Structure 1
Amino acid sequence: MATVDYRSLAGDILQGVGGERNIASATHCATRLRLKLRDDSKADQAAIEKLPGVITVMKAGGQFQVVIGNNVPTVYAELGKITKLTDDDAGSDEPVAHGNLFNRFIDLISSIFSPVIWPLAAAGLLKAFLSMATQFGWLDPASQTNVILAATADAIFYFLPVFLAVTAAKRFRTNQFTSMAIGGALVYPSIVALAAQAEPVNFAGIPVVMMNYTSSVLPIIVAVWLQGYVERFLTRVLPSAIRNFTTPLLTLLVMVPLVLMTVGPVTTFASQGLSAGINAAFTFAPWLAGAVMGGFWQVFVLFGLHWGLVPGMLNELSTQGYSLLMGPLVAAVLSQAAATLAVLFRTRNKARRTVAGPAALSGFLAGITEPAIYGVNLPLKKPFYFGIAGGVVGGAIAAAGGSGATSFVFASLLALPAYASVGSFALQLIGTAVAVVIAFTLTFIFGPREEAAAAGADAGTSVPEAVSVAPAAALAVPASSAVPATAAGTAATTVAGIVDIVAPVAGSAVALADVQDKVFASGAMGKGLGIIPADGHIYSPITGTIKAAMKTGHAFGIKSEDGVEVLVHIGIDTVQLQGRGFEAAVTRGEQVRAGDLLAVVDLDVVTEAGYDTTTLVMVTNTAQLGSVEPVAGGTLAHGDTAITVRV
């Protein structure tokens, strides 16, 4: 299998089933590529079975299933490179987080924004064209045509929490429609109105500090993350008869008030403190305040702290006719746009260039930086930092000259006339130019080059990267030697070349040949056994590294230091449940000991959905080992020896 060309295999399978047009959908589970064909008669099953790397082909559940084994994620990734069939959550493994906490945070934000980058870029570009049209008198700002076009351009930014609810739900494996309902509540007109009114707000007698959640980012992401814990808890404790409607009901009742009563106050108090500090700095050191505003305005927006500064800007405009707080914002915005422009010229990644072009244009002309930041600068990190650096210097220069805006405008090139009559317009232009030059130059010289082959996920494309899926031995699980007992009292041991693989769950042992899945029963995936589980707690049968952890929580691959590769597959065909009833306790890359919890499964959910709960434990690299001997049958306790392996 190691010599198989998976790119060629993906193309041969595609051809064998009648081409992309004959495939209605494509997913994969732990061992097989699952295709729904429009016309089964066009598929040459015999030819596909003869392909190197294909174990067998079967038709079940309305699917054309090509059994690949451990390397199915690699084949699926290659299929995604030559078709538009795959998506980023169809059973692929959760990416392993790397780096410090801040880098992981950036990676999280970037991955959640990735699917909506193209619509954001398109809307930003439209907004830039509308700004030009109204600025140069081509379109009457008061016309109904402009109202309709402005709504078209603004909607995705205004309702951004609802869009992010969908992508965050995929990331955190929550019910996306419940997530959308939470996001919708945050931007519901009456909630927006409560945030705008001066009167105190309370919920059931509890004071609520309101904020405006339109265009916000972090509140909905935090809400969906917490939603996942609430849903999984409710799934475990609620009776199955009422679970389907009670879980979203209780989740909404808990999450919406919780977000309003926690995120709102925290963000509001933080932004008020920030506003007070910056206003004070404008009094004794305008250049310092300008440096903070110019450098960190986009960071404030990211965390929702900018809402505390907006009232100050509006108050300045109403009382003195201009706002000094807005003076450094041109440098802040255009420096990020300049960094994005530098990426456009520097990167070899075609997908990234495609995003960077319109994103830079919308930043320069309309002051819309979401596509630039979330689609380009933030995922690449360095351009974002260089944009901050340019903003710091440019903002300090603009504020030192007393620059300010005479109207509430989006900071952009087209908005520069609003800054012409306050303070030194020359220093505003100089500061802006310096910010642009610094951000562009640093990014162009020191920014990531990105190779063309790395086209990808961060650029908002739908093509999954091969590196984001499990490697060739993804579903194999090795066992380490001399394993100490776990807290549960179980152990997998190696003595004189013998490795004991323990039962991951208590229950009745079933010979692999009697399992109700012909692929597993045939032994094509390796030797092992089935266990009809007595409870829903599934533990690791061996000590090693998690090489594969399906998002659906139904299958795990573990590899030991001894080279033993084990697949734990909870239930038969349970990938169809799409994670319902499953809660994974580990992710890919984690080290586990024999007896550590892998997952919790609600057996009632599986049974009521019509699926077999038999849990399979298989040594997937049987052919490379001396011998693999499963127990003959009987009842096993969790931790009992289930398979004896000679390495």
Structure 2
Amino acid sequence: MTDHAKTAAAVLTGVGGESNITSMVHCATRLRFVLKDESKADAAALRATPGVITTAQAGGQYQVVIGNDVPDVFAAIQAQTTLGGSGPEGGDAGPKGNLFNRFIKMISAIFTPILWALAGTGLLKAFVAAAVTFGWLDATTTTYVILNALSDALINFLPIALAITAARYFKASEFTSFAIAAALVYPTITALNGQPDITFFGIPVTMVSYVSSVIPVIIIVWLQSHAERFLLKVLPGAVRRFLTPMLVVLVAVPLVFLVIGPLSSLIGGGLATGIGWVFETLPWLGGAIMGGLWQVFVIFGLHWGLVPLFQLEYQNTGMIFLLGPVFAAVLAQAAAVAGVLVRTKNKNLRSLAAPATLSGFLAGITEPAIYGINLPLKRPFAFGVAGGALGGALIAMGGVFSKAFVVPSALALPALLGNGNMVMLAIGLAAAIIVPFLLTVLVGFTDPADATAPTTPAVATDTVVANPVDGTVVPLAEVPDAAFADASLGKGVAVRPTSGAVYAPFDATVVAAFPTGHAIGLRGVDGVELLIHVGLDTVKLGGRHFTLKVQSGTEVKAGDLLLEFDGAAIEAAGYDLITPVIVTNGELYPDVADVASGPLSHGEKLFRAVSVDSLTTTR
């Protein structure tokens, strides 16, 4: 059982189990849950879970901050549950919350699936633009044409991508949404932008550009979802499947051209003009707000509300002034945690600060730095806010802007090169990095004392593993599952149960009590870690026919009841009940010996987990 699997199991328990989860998605660093009852979540237990940085509640979501490993933990949760894919289950699921929270939740759900692709192609576009600026690439060559196309295509056809994610959120037909969005950016339609005397059945049409647009497609997909539900109810069954998309597209696209598009263009243009006015009239104020408060917005999940503004500004002006100061905000927090790395005497804190500094500077991922170090220590976070505000103000005063949507980081700096006053950019970035770094190193913070020695014994000893379930012992190689049979998950044996109870095979701590009840992870007092997996693929039962008697963190004695299951019902549902019992920390216990065979009652010796120290001694 990997660390990610343990973290996933603990997170599931901490949020109240799979039955308490309405939907689950993840972004760059966070698991984002919509819970049926947030009072069932145990924030203290979640924050104490290895692999979890902290928790937050914002935008109608219960957020568990993991850091860079969030995709792995997300995948582990999917493997342990019947929860769906990376998209949310829909905008109508779970408690509604206030209008603002619902808006933040919607924007997060719609943009999260495409964020990294958008950031990656944006970064590539920034590199291409920098290559042209410095004369490394000739813009008249076909090489440039190809590179520009592959880096610009996603942002150009953004309405199509948003149509898919919005359809998932609003529970509309994805390919009907695709058809609507594709019509908005169809080449002959795009060519009509700004042309006079455009009509649709005699009705005048004010054609605007839908390239890179955001608002029109989100609104029309929302309307589409309601129209589809209505039509599927009222149309005859023989024709509803093809008439529904036909009628929806026939009405939706002209509705965008006649009403939604011009209105959203007016609103978007007004917002872009307002942003431009602030950064032209009071640039220091706009820059200080974005640079100083961006990471505060991130803590509460409110930064998602600004993502559409980035895109609106780009759509209307081809420039994103809002993004420049955010570079200062990100690099300032990375610099503050670098200061912690230099000053702290705490070994554990130093081990956390090193990767957090690297991910903050290079990738712009600051959650590990903020939640794991800067915010708990208080002063480094405040120093980072101050440095971000100062750097953001200087960058904005230089009129610096980005010509691509990127995740602010050192690697993404080419997006700013040549766009505004480069001297002010350099001074602003230097201030954002130097000020919080020096304040953290010189002014300091309360350095936590080193933790006590680990509970795992310095020298591992052999551990006798008793049989946890009545049944017949079967060699692991005969288990009809390759992951168990080839011992890639760990060495051990399997038992074909003859009763429906699982007991503790030794004195231990429950480190993973899977909410579905199909598996238990234990850590013995000698350090051995054991996985008892009842049946194959039984996670798909979603907890049916299983009853957990313990939870993660429970201390158990040999012979204590861990879980009960209905073997007959599980087999009747088509699942193999064979139960692997394997050692999962093979680095300390690389082998098993004295393996029993034949029928065996629970409590009798099943095998001996052989420690690495024992092997070394015998050699």
TM range (shorter): 0.3 to 0.5
When normalised by structure 1's length, the TM-score is: 0.41
